[in-house]
């Protein structure tokens, strides 16, 4: 039996042009299609949403990068920076057109398919304009539940795709990654972290469909279109601007001026989290804030992790002077007070258009990345130094492997786990930092009227002990939940890559051990 | 018997020399103003390796044998000296020339746990050298990997396994396959079997022998296990504190070692013969720090056949032993860092850290009748050290008791007709030979 298998391995390896995944799938397509067809359906029903998110991010990246180039090159040659700006307008124009186009496409879980905004035709009359004539609260709850269920199932199905690959198409019957995944799937606390992360990513991606109303209609331009409502005084259906409706739905801390969680205002609008002090819908506000928070913190932590990974490998591989230079630089960066730097940069770029990319979030992401990388670098440098001492690095040098390849193939796989652990834990700090800036306001943080979590907390701080407690508390709890979830995820990954580290205190020591 | 040379030559003419090492030195540290003395890991080494032979390199741990192996492969930059490989001086190579040369010389590492990257499959590990050198096409690389797997006794299906799934012996086979991937002529085997079980050791050794025959390889076999060396090597070099002490044909060197260090090393091999009467030579103390190597012969501090100065030849063995041990103690003290407090106390004459020296002296000379001429010097040295000047005590003892072994570096003496070289003053005509000295001195014990 081993005779035949070994023969076929040799044939596989030497006679086929490429040992590609494609050939392996072609040989045994059933499991792949059983996974891929549902996956395609899952993507297709919400494709415009994903495309919109992708275009939006591309848009921000293009503006951000060209903006930085423009600012840098503008110092040298103004002609060249004009060219860059022209290119930027062209690209962004195309992206916005494409974004506008996909925005018009229908999606399955949209407010058009399951509408929740309607009006009553009489004092106890049926609801007009809502899904199947349901009450707005139920229509909204149905849509939100469906979206969360859809998102969780899609996430599971993506993971399932990896399982299909592992069981049917991977050449190795076992890899070290399998152990990590198995450990993580037995780690309840870590799974909680993943669950929370998926929850908040869902809010970021499907935010506009999740809210009972839209940021556009309720917050950004509330005086552009009227809405219908049942006027109890006149007993007729009237029209009103959402802005005027907001004005009469404020939560101001007294019994008569309060729209609490899970209640309707006088205009038949349902507010799952109640309203803000200016009468806007808190849940819609939070969903809008989720997207900007997730994008900015992802950019910041991604940038910081990238710098930390590259620098820690340089430190460990070259050591000596290179390490000392990075060490000094990192210490220098750490010595700058973060808040002061944020205030300074916000002031300097207050009227520059780069300060408006992502409503000011891009600049914040850069500053957070710049101030966070030294911590990640310190944490990962230890493990990197450890790997650099392994003999396989020496072996790779002995057959003349390039330093770049040595770092990528022989060092990076060993530090990426630690990087994930520390990155997920540091993200909590960045999210709190972002919220703190918005809380302070005065030109700091995300610029209004774009929703930001910290601003909601700041608005409600005078009413914490009254009927309008929800304004500060609910956003606060959401931040706590997200940060706890990220820490849980970090814990889970740490235990998964190093199961021997065991309990929490010990584990932390083991993971941080090399950091010094 | 005492033909001296500055360096050993290859005796058997007609054998082509593949590797020629001349006065190779590798020091660590010691640069910059505040740095202490450098660690002299390899301190002037000469030897040649002929094509197709296996040269063994033995020595206790820390004597610099692994550093020597790594320096030969340009994994460390030599401080001084040259390494000629097939006619080219490889110490001058750099960039793409060096990379190209690396195909010729590869290494098998000691620890199979650490020498294979656990995140890569065995196929990827063995293929990596080929990828790094862009060797032929992808299919041919895979074919080559499979050939190598079978050459080292592994099977095709191991291609997609991870090192985790293998035993130590199998992992070492993978390491050997990787080293062979680029068809090198020369392999440095850095203790390739010392991390393995004894039963597996034999298999790996015979695999190495088969491969050598099949691919016409030249080996530098680094080891501390003398029996393995005796089995596999054609010639053996014995290393001590960065120096080669003796070099010669394996069997001859094991049967009749010339150098006192080799003698003591070989006397330590357990013998299964109960009637055997060969005395085991036990060396006193530990090897000196490679930061502070003796200025003459590196083995001078522990040598059982050390030459004594003219004026003290009449002393008893016990007295002389005591003197040597006392010098060792003083050397230790002189390497100690006194610290700021120590220096301050010395400045005001209240230094007391070395007050235990008198006790040490009485221990060392316990039951020994120390003649007056020796006693005064010992006491003077103790006095210096107690005042906080151990270096001065060391100088003083050096002036008084040093012999040619302490003062001058020996030469390589050819000690037999078959190209055997030994690094010892005793081979010079004016001194008594090693054997009678050792047997006389050890018999008294």
- Element (DSSP H or E) covering residue B382: helix B372-386
Strand partners, B4: B413
Cβ contact (<8 Å) for B139 and A396? no
The pairing of strands A227-231 and A236-240 is: antiparallel
Residues B183 and B330 in one domain: no
Residues B256 and B159 in one domain: yes
Question: Cβ–Cβ of A14/B182 closer than 8 Å?
Answer: no
Separation CA B53–CA B59 (nearest Å):
20
The answer on B341 and B222 residing in a single domain is no
pLDDT at A515: 32
Cα–Cα nearest to A349, from A439, A452, A437, A444 = A444
Number of inter-chain CB pairs under 8 A, A vs B: 107
The nearest CA of chain A is from the CA of B262 a distance in Å of 30
Nearest to B132 among A2, A6, A400 (CB): A400
**Tokens representing residue B374 in the block:** 């020796």
| Cβ-Cβ contacts under 8 Å for B313 (sequence gap 6 or more) | none
Whether B157 sits inside 8 A of A2 (CB atoms) is yes
Measured between beta carbons, which residues in chain B are less than 8 angstroms from residue A13? 139, 142-143, 145-146, 159
- B277 lies in some domain: no
Contact flag A172-B139 (C-beta cutoff 8 Å): no
| Residues B236 and B128 reside in one and the same domain | yes
Residue B147 lies in a domain: yes
Same domain (yes/no): B336, B220? no
Residue B283 lies in a domain: no
- Determine the straight-line distance between the first and last CA of chain B, rounded to whole angstroms: 30
Q: Please compute, for residue A223, the number of CA atoms within 13 A of its CA located in the half-sphere on the CB side.
A: 2
Q: Do residues A246 and A96 make contact, with C-beta atoms less than 8 angstroms apart?
A: no
The answer to whether residues B152 and B257 belong to one domain is: yes
Edge-to-edge strand order for the sheet containing B80-85? Answer: B39-50, B17-28, B80-85, B88-89
Chain centroid to CA A73: 31
pLDDT tens by residue, chain B, 445 residues: 444 554 454 444 447 899 999 999 999 887 777 777 888 899 889 999 999 999 999 988 888 899 999 999 999 999 999 999 988 899 998 888 999 999 999 999 988 888 999 889 999 999 999 999 998 888 889 899 999 999 999 998 899 899 988 999 999 999 999 999 999 999 999 999 988 888 899 999 999 999 999 999 999 999 988 888 999 999 999 999 999 999 999 999 998 888 999 988 888 888 777 777 667 788 887 888 888 888 889 898 888 888 888 878 788 878 888 888 888 888 888 888 778 888 888 888 888 778 888 888 888 888 777 788 888 888 888 888 888 888 888 888 888 888 888 888 888 888 877 788 899 998 888 888 888 888 777 765 4
* Rounded Cα–Cα distance for residues A435 and A488 (Å): 20
Domain assignment of residue B242, yes or no: yes
Cross-chain Cβ contact B128/A400 below 8 Å: no
pLDDT on residue A68: 81
Same domain, B329 and B240: no
CA distance B281 to B267: 6
Scanning the structure block, which residue is given the tokens 């002036």? B399
B12-B15-B18 Cα angle (round to 5): 120
Q: Which residues of A9-39 are buried (b: 16+ CB within 10 A; e: fewer)?
A: bbebbbeeeeeeeeebbeeeeeebeebeeee
In chain A, residues with a C-beta closer than 8 Å to the C-beta of B75 are 394, 397-398
CB contact under 8 A, A394 and B132: no
Query: Which of B251, B267, B283 finishes a domain?
Result: B267
- Rounded Cα gap, residues A483 and A465, in angstroms: 25
**Which residues does residue A227 pair with via DSSP β-bridges, in sequence order?**
A240
Q: Give the residue from B267, B298, B328 where a domain finishes.
A: B267
CB A391 within 8 A of CB A382: no
Residue A113, helix vs strand vs coil: coil
Task: Tell me the CB-side half-sphere exposure of residue A213, using CA atoms within 13 A.
Answer: 29
> Helices in B163-225 by DSSP H: which ranges?
168-180, 198-215
Please answer whether residues B110 and A167 qualify as being in contact, where contact means their C-beta atoms are separated by less than 8 angstroms: no
Residue in A closest to B130 by C-alpha = A399
- Asked if residue B346 belongs to a domain, the reply is yes
Measure the CA–CA gap between B225 and A196, rounded to whole angstroms.
58
Residue B192 and residue B318 in one domain: no
How is residue A139 annotated by DSSP?
Answer: H
And the tokens for B358? 């008198």
Q: Cβ atoms within 10 A of the Cβ of B242, count?
A: 26
Indicate whether B261 and B365 sit together in one domain.
no
CB B390 within 8 Å of CB B336: yes
Phi, psi of B296 (to 5 degrees): -90, -120
In chain A, which residue's Cα lies nearest the Cα of B161?
A172
Please indicate, yes or no, whether residues B232 and B142 belong to a single structural domain of this protein. yes
Return d(Cα B237, Cα B222) in angstroms, integer.
Answer: 10
**In angstroms, rounded to a whole number, what is the distance separating the alpha carbons of residues B242 and B71?**
13
User: For B120-149, how does the pLDDT look when each residue is reduced to its tens digit (9 = 90+)?
Assistant: 999 999 999 999 999 888 888 989 999 999
Place of tokens 């010892």: B424
Judge: A399–B129 Cβ closer than 8 Å, yes or no.
yes
pLDDT in tens, B211-247: 999 999 999 999 988 888 999 999 999 999 999 999 9
Average pLDDT per 10 consecutive residues for chain A, totaling 516 residues: 56 64 86 95 93 89 84 81 86 90 87 88 82 89 95 96 92 86 92 95 92 88 88 85 90 86 88 91 93 92 96 94 95 92 86 80 91 94 93 91 93 92 92 91 83 91 90 94 94 84 44 35
Radius of gyration of chain A (CA): 27
Under DSSP, the state recorded for A292 is H
Q: State the residue for tokens 């930085």.
A: A68
CA distance B288 to B301: 8
Q: Which of B142, B145, B166 to mutate to test the interface with A (most CBs of A within 10 A)?
A: B142
- The two structure tokens encoding residue A365: 């992401």
Residues of A in contact with B103 (CB under 8 A): 399-400
* Inter-chain residue contact B162 with A176, CB threshold 8 Å: yes
Distance (Å) from the alpha carbon of A441 to chain B's nearest alpha carbon: 48
DSSP A281: B
Q: Which two tokens stand for residue B70?
A: 């790594």
| Residues in CB range of A285: below 8 A, 6 or more apart | A215, A219, A276, A451, A456
Which chain A residues touch B if contact means CB-CB below 8 Å?
2, 5-7, 9-10, 13-19, 171-176, 390-392, 394-402, 405, 409-410, 413-414
Which domain CATH number covers B34?
Answer: 3.40.50.300
Burial class, A394, CB count within 10 angstroms (exposed 0-12 / middle 13-18 / buried 19+)? buried
| Domain contains B290 | no
Q: Report whether B248 contacts B216 (CB < 8 A).
A: no
- Quick one: chain A helix, strand, coil %, rounded to 5? 75, 5, 25
Count of alpha carbons within 13 angstroms of residue A108, beta-carbon side: 13
Clarify whether residues B16 and B85 are in a common domain. Answer: yes
Sequence-separated (6 or more) residues with CB below 8 Å from residue A23: A16
Looking at the structure, do residues B244 and B393 belong to the same domain, yes or no? no
Inspect the interface and report whether the beta carbons of B162 and A394 lie closer than 8 Å: no
Q: Which of B232, B267, B302 is the last residue of a domain?
A: B267
Of the candidates A127, A144, A143, A457, the residue with the CA atom closest to the CA atom of residue A269: A127
Judge: A9–B73 Cβ closer than 8 Å, yes or no.
no
Any chain A CB within 8 A of the CB of B160? yes
Number of structural domains (chain B) is 2
| B200 falls within a domain | yes
* pLDDT value of residue A375: 94
- Residue B355 inside a domain? The answer is yes
Residue B224 has what DSSP assignment? Answer: S
Q: Contact B81/B87 with Cβ under 8 angstroms?
A: no
Q: Give pLDDT, residue A505.
A: 41
Around Cβ A210, how many Cβ atoms within 10 Å? 24
Contact B72, B66 (CB under 8 A): no
Contact B107, B220 (CB under 8 A): no
Domain of B343, in residue numbers: 310-402
């Amino acid at each position: 039996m081993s005779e035949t298998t070994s023969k076929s391995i040799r044939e596989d390896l030497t006679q086929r042009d490429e040992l590609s995944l494609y050939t392996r799938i072609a040989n045994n397509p059933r499991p792949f299609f059983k996974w891929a067809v549902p996956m395609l359906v899952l993507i297709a029903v919400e494709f415009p949403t994903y495309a919109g998110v992708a275009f939006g991010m591309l848009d921000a990246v293009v503006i951000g990068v060209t903006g930085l180039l423009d600012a840098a090159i503008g110092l040298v040659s103004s002609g060249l920076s004009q060219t860059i700006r022209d290119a930027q307008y062209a690209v962004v124009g195309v992206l916005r057109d494409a974004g506008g186009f996909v925005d018009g496409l229908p999606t399955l879980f949209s407010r058009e398919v399951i509408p929740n905004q309607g009006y009553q035709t009489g004092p106890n009359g049926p609801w007009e304009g809502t899904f199947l004539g349901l009450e707005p609260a139920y229509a909204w709850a149905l849509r939100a539940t469906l979206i969360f269920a859809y998102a969780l199932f899609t996430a599971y199905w993506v993971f399932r795709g990896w399982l299909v690959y592992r069981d049917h198409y991977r050449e190795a019957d076992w890899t070290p990654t399998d152990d990590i995944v198995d450990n993580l799937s037995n780690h309840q606390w870590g799974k909680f972290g993943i669950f929370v992360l998926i929850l908040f990513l869902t809010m970021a991606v499907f935010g506009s469909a999740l809210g009972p109303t839209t940021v556009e209609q309720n917050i950004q331009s509330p005086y552009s279109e009227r809405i219908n409502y049942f006027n109890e005084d006149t007993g007729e259906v009237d029209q009103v601007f959402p802005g005027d409706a907001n004005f009469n739905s404020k939560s101001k801390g007294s019994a008569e001026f309060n729209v609490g969680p899970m209640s309707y205002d006088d205009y038949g609008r349902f507010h799952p989290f109640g309203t803000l002090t200016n009468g806007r819908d808190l849940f819609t506000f939070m969903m809008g804030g989720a997207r900007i928070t997730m994008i900015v913190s992802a950019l910041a932590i991604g940038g910081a992790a990238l710098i930390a990974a590259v620098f820690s490998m340089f430190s460990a591989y070259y050591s000596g002077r290179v390490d000392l230079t990075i060490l000094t630089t990192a210490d220098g960066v750490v010595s700058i007070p973060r808040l002061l730097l944020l205030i300074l940069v916000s002031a300097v770029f207050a009227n520059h258009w780069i300060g408006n990319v992502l409503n000011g979030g891009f600049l914040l992401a850069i500053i957070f990345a710049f101030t966070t990388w030294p911590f990640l670098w310190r944490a990962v440098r230890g493990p990197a130094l450890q790997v650099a001492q392994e003999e396989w690095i020496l072996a790779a040098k002995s057959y003349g492997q390039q330093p770049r390849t040595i770092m990528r193939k022989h060092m990076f796989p060993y530090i990426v786990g630690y990087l994930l652990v520390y990155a997920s834990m540091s993200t909590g700090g960045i999210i709190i930092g972002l919220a703190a800036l918005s809380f302070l306001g005065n030109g700091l943080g995300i610029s209004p009227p774009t929703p930001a979590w910290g601003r909601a907390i700041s608005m409600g701080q005078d009413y914490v002990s009254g009927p309008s407690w929800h304004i500060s508390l609910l956003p606060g709890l959401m931040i706590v939940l997200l940060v706890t979830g990220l820490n849980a995820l970090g814990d889970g990954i740490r235990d998964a890559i190093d199961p021997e580290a065991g309990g929490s205190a010990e584990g932390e020591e083991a993971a941080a051990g090399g950091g010094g | 018997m005492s033909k001296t040379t500055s360096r050993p030559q290859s005796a058997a003419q007609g054998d082509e020399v593949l590797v020629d090492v001349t006065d190779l030195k590798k020091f660590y540290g010691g640069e910059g103003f505040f740095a202490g003395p450098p660690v002299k890991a390899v301190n002037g080494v000469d030897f040649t390796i002929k094509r197709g032979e296996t040269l063994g390199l033995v020595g206790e741990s820390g004597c610099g044998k692994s550093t020597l192996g790594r320096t030969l492969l340009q994994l460390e930059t030599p401080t001084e000296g040259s390494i000629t490989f097939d006619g080219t001086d490889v110490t001058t190579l750099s960039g793409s020339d060096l990379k190209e040369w690396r195909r010729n010389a590869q290494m098998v590492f000691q620890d199979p746990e650490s020498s294979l990257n656990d995140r890569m499959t065995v196929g990827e590990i063995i293929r990596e050298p080929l990828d790094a050198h862009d060797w032929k096409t992808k299919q041919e690389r895979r074919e080559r990997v499979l050939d190598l797997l079978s050459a080292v006794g592994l099977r095709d299906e191991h291609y997609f396994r991870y090192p985790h799934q293998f035993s130590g012996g199998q992992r070492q086979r993978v390491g050997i396959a990787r080293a062979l991937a680029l068809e090198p002529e020369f392999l440095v085997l850095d203790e390739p079997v010392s991390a393995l079980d004894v039963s597996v050791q034999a298999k790996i050794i015979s695999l190495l022998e088969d491969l050598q025959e099949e691919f016409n390889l030249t080996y530098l076999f680094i080891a501390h296990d003398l029996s393995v060396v005796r089995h596999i090597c054609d010639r053996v070099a014995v290393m001590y504190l960065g120096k080669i002490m003796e070099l010669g044909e394996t069997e001859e060197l094991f049967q009749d070692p010339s150098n006192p260090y080799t003698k003591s090393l070989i006397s330590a091999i357990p013998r299964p013969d109960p009637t055997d009467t060969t005395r085991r030579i036990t060396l006193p103390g530990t090897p000196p720090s490679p930061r502070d190597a003796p200025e003459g012969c590196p083995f001078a501090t522990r040598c059982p056949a050390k030459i004594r100065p003219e004026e003290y030849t009449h002393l008893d063995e016990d007295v002389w032993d005591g003197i040597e041990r006392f010098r060792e103690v003083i050397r230790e003290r002189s390497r100690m860092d006194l610290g700021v407090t120590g220096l301050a106390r010395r400045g005001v004459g209240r230094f007391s850290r070395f007050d235990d020296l008198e006790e040490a002296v009485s221990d060392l000379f316990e039951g020994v009748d120390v003649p007056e001429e020796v006693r005064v010097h010992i006491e003077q040295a103790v006095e210096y050290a107690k005042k906080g000047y151990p270096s001065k005590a060391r100088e003083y003892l050096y002036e008084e008791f040093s012999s040619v072994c302490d003062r001058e570096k020996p030469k390589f003496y050819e000690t037999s007709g078959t190209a055997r070289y030994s690094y010892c003053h005793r081979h010079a005509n004016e001194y008594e030979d090693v054997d009678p000295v050792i047997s006389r001195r050890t018999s008294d014990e």
